[in-house]
Amino acid sequence: MSKSKKTFPEYRQNTNLFYPIIIGALLILILFGYLTLRYQNSTKKNEISSSSNSIVDNDFNINNEKDIVEGVNLHPEFVISEGDTLASIFAEASINNNDSAAMVDAFSKKINPRKLSIGTSIVINFIKNSSGDLVLEGAVITISNNKEIKITRNVSGKFSALEVQVPLVKKVEYRKGIIKNSFNAAAIELSVPTNAIFGMVRAFSYDVDFQRDIKNGDKLEVLMDKFYTSNGKISHNGDVLYSSLTLKGKKISIYLYKDLMGDVAYYNDKGESIKKEFLRTPINAARISSKFGMRSHPVLGYTRMHKGVDFAAPVGTPILAAGGGVVEVARRNGQYGKYVRIKHNASYSTAYAHISRFANGIKSGSKVKQGQVIAYVGMTGVTNGPHLHYEVIEKGRHINPLKFKSASSSGKLSGKDLELFKKTKKLIDKKLS
């Protein structure tokens, strides 16, 4: 009997089943190949173990090509993230519990592990023994740009920690610019750090009133030390070796010098200390609301002598001692309201009125240092607004605080110190040219 031929519809139905089966088989083969490849890669990462049961992951950062031995990173680097601890980092590196506890204990003798901050770098060090196994050698924890804690294992297998100072590269950098808005803004534009700006303000404040003397177009120069790591990263800023302000064409320069007694201070170009017996103003960021001399009193309405200078400022603004001395008076004083008077020497006293409150420890007989906060701006006594009334008294006579120029508090360098200062100044001037 002859075989009957398939009809067209029956043939088409079988063909429709054939193609999905082939496509499905191909997809299964592709998936199987992908899973096999991943399994092999995962196995390769974990097949190398140390004699102390430590596992080195080959995906960590590589510090140097020499760190790689037969595909294994001998010095993997970890970075502390939020929630990490030193112990958790060691666990992540698959260091066994005994070694981990011993390393944490060694580190704790130098620094509290809880004080490690986010971003701290930890490099784990391994070596290969004669059998080709990886052995944990220790770790290096970077505490700062110039300090590391190195943990090492000795011949007996015990761990110890050593604090190591990392050498930095010191560079002397010179910057100059034009003051457009304020001294602070100009200094920031020259990349002068905040702490250095404050130091410069303190140094110049004996000769410069920063609220009134500085104008747009004045010039600023800075020469300072900066410290860098070996890879060129800025570590920290050093001292301001030199700075100058050119105000209305007049240049005021300061040079840093360490004298033979070890004291560090700023001097002018003649070797005279820039530190004066009195501050130019006893308050920061205030405007003059009334000057020294005859005036019509804003509250009482009649003309009388104004024996000081008024600085308008918000209530609570700190008031500084213009110079060192002994507090003679710290109490209410009639129309002055709360009042402080400081005797500085046989010739000079200064007074501060309309205070809101005295600073802690300020009372009659208290000793104060120049720049110390003695009180806070207020509006006690007879006044029409918050301000500081400031007086300078010379041998019992009131003088104009704005025209008063105090002498240098430590005089001029002499002898060997002056000779060394001139050499220091010459080196600095050479870097400015």
Task: Please write the tens of the pLDDT for every residue from 107-125.
Answer: 999 999 888 889 899 999 9
**Which domains are assigned to the chain?**
65-165 (3.10.450.350), 169-267 (3.10.450.350), 287-399 (2.70.70.10)
**pLDDT interval class at 419 (50, 70, 90):** very high
H or E stretch at 45: helix 8-46
Instruction: Give 72 or 71, the one with higher predicted confidence.
Output: 72
Looking at the predicted structure, is the pLDDT value of residue 346 above 50? yes
CB atoms within 10 A of CB 313: 22
- Look at residue 33 and tell me whether its pLDDT is greater than 80: no
Q: Is the pTM of this model over 0.75?
A: no
Task: Note the pLDDT of residue 409.
Answer: 61
What pLDDT is recorded for position 1?
Answer: 44
pLDDT given for residue 407 in this prediction: 62
Rounded to whole angstroms, the Cα distance separating 312 from 315 reads 9
Rg (CA), the chain: 37
pLDDT, position 52:
34
Interval 314-331 mean pLDDT: 94
What is the pLDDT, as a whole number, of residue 342?
97
- Rounded to an integer, the average pLDDT of 354-360 is 95
pLDDT digits 0-9 by tens, 169-191 = 999 999 999 998 888 889 988 88
Task: Fill in the DSSP letter of residue 84.
Answer: -
Residues 6+ away with beta carbon under 8 Å from 404: 278, 392, 394
Q: Of 244, 249, 228, 169, which Cα lies nearest the Cα of 428?
A: 244
Residue scoring higher pLDDT (171 or 61) = 171
- 379: tokens are 């509006």
What are the tokens at 128? Answer: 């290969």
pLDDT at 43 over 50: no
289 near 222, Cβ under 8 Å?
no
Residue 82 CB coordination number (10 Å): 5
Distance (Å, rounded) from C-alpha 158 to C-alpha 162? 13
- pLDDT value of position 102: 92
In Å, how far are 48, 74, 129 from 71, measured between CA atoms?
10, 9, 16
H-helix or E-strand containing 415? helix 415-432
CA distance 78 to 141: 10
Mean pLDDT of the chain: 82
The predicted pLDDT at position 206 comes to: 84
The partner residues of 237 in beta bridges, in order of sequence, read 226
Q: Are 93 and 49 in contact (CB under 8 A)?
A: no
Strands 68-69 and 72-73: antiparallel
pLDDT of amino acid 354: 95
- Is pLDDT above 70 for 399? yes
Q: What is the band of 285 on the pLDDT scale with cuts at 50, 70, 90?
A: low
For 112-200, where are the E strands, in sequence order?
121-128, 134-144, 147-153, 159-165, 169-178
Q: How confident is the model over 239-270, as pLDDT tens digits?
A: 899 999 999 889 999 999 999 988 888 999 99
The pLDDT of residue 22 is 67
Count CB neighbours of 89 within 10 A: 23
Q: Which two tokens stand for residue 311?
A: 């600085």
Q: How confident is the model at residue 31 (pLDDT cuts 50, 70, 90)?
A: low
